[in-house]
Amino acid sequence: MRKRSEEVRRRIVDAAYESFWRLGFRRSTVDSIAARAGLTKRTVYGYFRSKDDLLAAVLQRYDELAAQRLQRIGEGMPADRGGAIDSYFAQLVGWASVTPRWSGSGFTRLVVELADLPGHPARSIARRAKAKTESWMAGRLADAGVAEARAHAREVMLLTEGAMALTLIHGGRDYIDAAARAAQRLIGQK
């Protein structure tokens, strides 16, 4: 019975993840999430007290997926600083190119959607996730011999987030390519 319960919980979280990713938090309903999971609304509420609780579970799952994505990105990165930056942004282009209806970072989109709710728990979860990514980037830059790796990691994060937003607005990879060139200049490669 326990295994079945975990399976149902995972179906709900996966359905909510897909719904929040595609529609956003506010436009997603528990009814639509239940339907997507092939369950009843009552079953969903048997596992989660509220849509906010479900969102917390989704963000925890998304954080795990983001950590796996960073690990894959890191495995494909050369050790030299120029190669690391090129690889990082090339993989961002790849993510944007191969993901159907790519819509950028889910954490960023969620925080923008919840901008009028500064105390919402999802915002602190997103903040921690972005801090992990920045710390990961700082480590990669330090390993590549980049001076002031923490400061440059923050700048690369700004370039990354801006590139994703402008890619969504303009619908092309030009902004990711421009961010890669700017990051190369920041670390003194070009």
Q: Which domains does the chain have, with CATH numbers?
A: 1-48 (1.10.10.60), 51-186 (1.10.357.10)
Residue-wise pLDDT for 63-112, tens only, equals 888 888 888 888 888 989 889 999 999 988 887 777 667 777 777 777 78
Residue-wise pLDDT for 28-75, tens only, equals 999 999 999 999 999 999 999 999 899 989 888 888 888 888 888 888
Q: Write down the H helix ranges in the chain.
A: 2-23, 30-37, 41-47, 51-75, 81-98, 106-113, 121-143, 149-170, 174-186
Predicted TM-score (pTM) of this structure: 0.80
Determine the Cα–Cα distance for residues 82 and 163; give it in Å rounded to an integer: 18
Determine the Cα–Cα distance for residues 174 and 172; give it in Å rounded to an integer: 6
* 3-state DSSP percent of the chain in helix, strand and coil, to 5: 75, 0, 25
